[in-house]
Amino acid sequence: MSGLLAGGLVVALLAVIGDLLVLALIVALIYNRLIQLKVRIDNAWAQIDVQLKRRYDLIPNLVETVKGYAKHEKGTFEEIAKLRSQIITGTPAERSKANDMLSGALKSLFAVAENYPQLKANENFKALQDELAGTENKISYVRMAYNDTVMEFNTAIKTFPNNLLAGMLGFKDAQFFQTENPAERASVKVQF
C-alpha cells in the first residue's frame, strides 16, 4: 500500500510541476508579446521622429526663400522658428501640440507667399513646397501607424489574461499622437 501511495504522490507532484511549467510558459508568452508591442511603439515613434526631423530641416530653407521676398513678415518667421525648436523635444502629447501649431504657422507662411507672385514662380520655393507637402503626407502616415500600434498595445494590456500580468509587470497605457487643435477636428466646409 505504501508503494501505491508513494506512486500517487509522485504522479501528483509531477502534475503540479507540469501545471507550474504551463503557467510559467503562459506568463512568458504574455510578457514577450507585451514587450514586442512596446518595441513596436518605440519603433513607430522613431519613424515619426525621422519625418519630423526631415520637416525640421526643410523649414529653414523654405523660410529663407520667403524672407527674401517678404522682409516685413518677421512675426511669422519668428513663430515658425520658435515652434520648430519645440517640435523636437518632449512627450508625444507635447510634440503633437507643437506639431499642430507649426502646421498652422506654415499655413500662414504659405499665405504670405500668395502675396508675392515672383516667389510663387520661384523654382526653389516650388521644390521646397513640394518636398514639405510630401513630408507632411509621410508624417500623417507614420502618425497613423504609431497610433495603430498604440491601440494594439493598449488593448493587449487591458484584455484578459494579459491584464492580470500587465499591471504587475509595470506596463501602462501608451499615449496616442493626436491633434490638440479643435479646429483641425471639425469638418471642412468647401465653398465655391
- 192 vs 146, more confident: 146
What share of the chain has pLDDT > 70, as a percent? 78
- Give the whole-angstrom CA distance, residue 46 versus residue 39: 10
Per-residue pLDDT tens digits for 4-36? 677 778 888 889 999 999 999 999 999 999 999
In sign, the C-alpha dihedral spanning 37, 38, 39, 41 is positive
Does 76 score more than 90 pLDDT? no
Would you list the domain boundaries of the chain? 2-41+52-174
Per-residue pLDDT tens digits for 40-50? 999 998 898 88
pLDDT band for position 130 (cuts 50, 70, 90)? confident
pLDDT band for position 63 (cuts 50, 70, 90)? confident
Contact 63, 109 (CB under 8 A): yes
In sign, the C-alpha dihedral spanning 54, 57, 59, 65 is negative
CATH 1.10.3720.10 assigned to domain 2-41+52-174? The reply is no
